[in-house]
Amino acid sequence: MTTTPRRALVTGGSGDIGSAIAHALAAQGHHVIVHANARLQRAEAVAAAIRAGGGSAEAVAFDVAAGASVAAALERLLEAGPIGIVVNNAGIHDDAPMAGMNDAQWHRVIDVSLHGFFHVTRPLLLPMSRQRWGRIVSVSSVAAVLGNRGQVNYAAAKAALHGATKSLAREMASRGISANVVAPGLVEGTMLGDQFDAAQVKALVPAGRAGTPAEVAAVVAFLCSDAAGYVNGQVIGVNGGMG
């Protein structure tokens, strides 16, 4: 897989999947901007590890749900040149059955995953258009496809990314810009945590195991490559056959 080195922003880049994506993009030769919300030191650690491995990276922190903060941060980043790749990976869980879900649980999950996608992606579109090249990848979840008890807010936020991405792909394809979704299933790491034991994973996943962050990152990296230019408006599951 060949691709031209570019600047790549990975939101939620300090988590398990986000850091794997950051490393995968750095391995393609991109300069990676590793984003965190409040824990800048975690993003700094990921960026430092990339640099230690011979890659190029920096860290940045802002709340993707706060439009004004995002706009100010991106304005500063764009002063150094266009950002050709954006991976909207930031997302949070705040699980509860809908009958017992409070307003804050609903709104914060929607704010981070859906409004964050809008706040981060919109300012990058015109600079991408001027370059006649861009890659937008949003990380969703199998919950957006199948649903999941206790995650009405999370499934709603992630499923909304599917429709938004398909529409955005139609708007931007003529300018050499693709927009796609990667929807992981059960993936090893802190987000999976201790929610499922080995027997539960085997029962839920036809492959009989949880995926790895690297397996998700490999698909994202392909979608961000020059070779994937004709893949557009797609929702690609990385879920071991769950659906």
Q: Which amino acid is at 149?
A: R
The question of whether 154 is a catalytic residue gets the answer yes
Q: What is the CA radius of gyration of the chain?
A: 17
DSSP SS3 for 88:
strand
Joined together, the tokens standing for residue 181 give 């979704």
CA 82/CA 84 separation, integer angstroms:
6
Cβ-contact 87, 9 below 8 angstroms: yes
Nearest-angstrom CA–CA distance, 66 and 167: 23
Is residue 75 within 8 A of residue 122, CB to CB? The reply is: no
> What does the angle CA 159 – CA 160 – CA 161 come to, to the nearest 5 degrees?
90
Assigned token pair, 69: 């903060």
Is residue 219 within 8 Å of residue 166, measured between CB atoms?
A: no
Picking from 23, 140, 125, the residue whose alpha carbon sits closest to that of residue 90 is 140
The catalytic position among 62, 117, 133, 154 is 154
The three-class DSSP label of residue 187 is strand
Which is it for the CA torsion 181, 185, 187, 192, positive or negative? positive
Catalytic residues: 154
